[in-house]
């Protein structure tokens, strides 16, 4: 089985990627398992730039195929914020409360948002990026206990992402879409 390093140590992301890439006969391993204990500074201004920074940093250490993802929440009424700065918008665990407060005067029809994800891939012969997105809207209160980050305020259909099972979320998430796009590219 061919190995690909996912430049992350996040167990949820690893499981999701492993499930999507297994049918191609590809084993996904974490950067720690590959011996790359680096944490490069994500100082790009786009998701693609940050994904490339992470993938390159790990590829330079492991020298086998690597991919990295970068993602975030883009809120239309906030002109795309927090976007690439989603992880730094508020202290961990307070991002939903801050967003609800910032959106308190925004009417129903202007609460649209999307999760965006870019994956950068590098091997000895090629490098490319693929992306995925998931459209929804920002709720007025936090609902659900699954997931992480902005999931409790991101509504798709009649549920927040935090009210979905992992399988339901993977089917429609930005990261799931980007991983499936990666899968198609690797199939050739």
**Separation of alpha carbons 123 and 17, rounded Å:** 17
Which region among 14-22, 67-75, 96-104, 124-132 touches ligand IMP (by CB under 6 A)?
67-75
What tokens does 105 get?
């005067």
Q: Does 72 bind ligand IMP (CB under 6 A)?
A: yes
Q: Min. distance of Cβ 21 from ligand IMP in angstroms?
A: 18
Q: Min. distance of Cβ 42 from ligand IMP in angstroms?
A: 7
Query: Which of 4, 20, 36, 70 lies at the binding interface for ligand IMP (CB under 6 A)?
Result: 70
Q: Residue 140 contacts by C-beta under 8 Å, 6 or more apart in sequence?
A: 100
**Separation of alpha carbons 158 and 184, rounded Å:** 30
Catalytic positions are 70
Q: Does 137 bind ligand IMP (CB under 6 A)?
A: no
Residues 89 to 118 in contact with ligand IMP, rule: CB under 6 A: 95, 115
Backbone phi and psi for residue 133, each to the nearest 5 degrees, phi listed first: -140, 165
Q: Does 151 bind ligand IMP (CB under 6 A)?
A: yes
Query: Which of 111, 149, 170, 182 lies at the binding interface for ligand IMP (CB under 6 A)?
Result: 149
Q: Min. distance of Cβ 125 from ligand IMP in angstroms?
A: 26
Q: Min. distance of Cβ 80 from ligand IMP in angstroms?
A: 13
Nearer to ligand IMP, 59 or 150 (CB): 150
Which region among 21-29, 30-38, 65-73, 123-131 touches ligand IMP (by CB under 6 A)?
65-73
End-to-end CA distance of the chain: 17
Positions touching ligand IMP (CB under 6 A) are: 69-73, 86-87, 95, 115, 147-151, 161, 173
């Amino acid at each position: 089985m061919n190995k690909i390093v996912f430049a992350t140590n996040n167990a949820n992301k690893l499981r999701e990627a492993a499930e999507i890439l297994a049918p191609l006969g590809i084993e996904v391993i974490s950067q720690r398992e590959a011996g790359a204990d680096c944490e490069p500074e994500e100082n790009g201004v786009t998701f693609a730039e940050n994904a490339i920074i992470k993938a390159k940093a790990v590829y330079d250490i492991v020298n086998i195929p690597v991919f990295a993802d970068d993602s975030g929440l883009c809120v239309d009424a906030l002109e795309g914020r927090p976007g690439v700065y989603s992880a730094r918008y508020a202290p961990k665990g307070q991002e939903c409360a801050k967003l609800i407060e910032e959106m308190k005067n925004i009417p129903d029809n202007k609460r649209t948002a999307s999760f965006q994800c870019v994956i950068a891939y590098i091997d000895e012969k090629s490098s490319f990026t693929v992306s995925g997105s998931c459209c929804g809207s920002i709720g007025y209160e936090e609902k659900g206990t699954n997931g992480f980050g902005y999931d409790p305020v991101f509504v798709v259909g009649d549920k927040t992402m935090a009210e979905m099972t992992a399988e339901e979320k993977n089917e429609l998430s930005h990261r799931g879409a980007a991983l499936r796009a990666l899968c198609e590219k690797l199939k050739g």
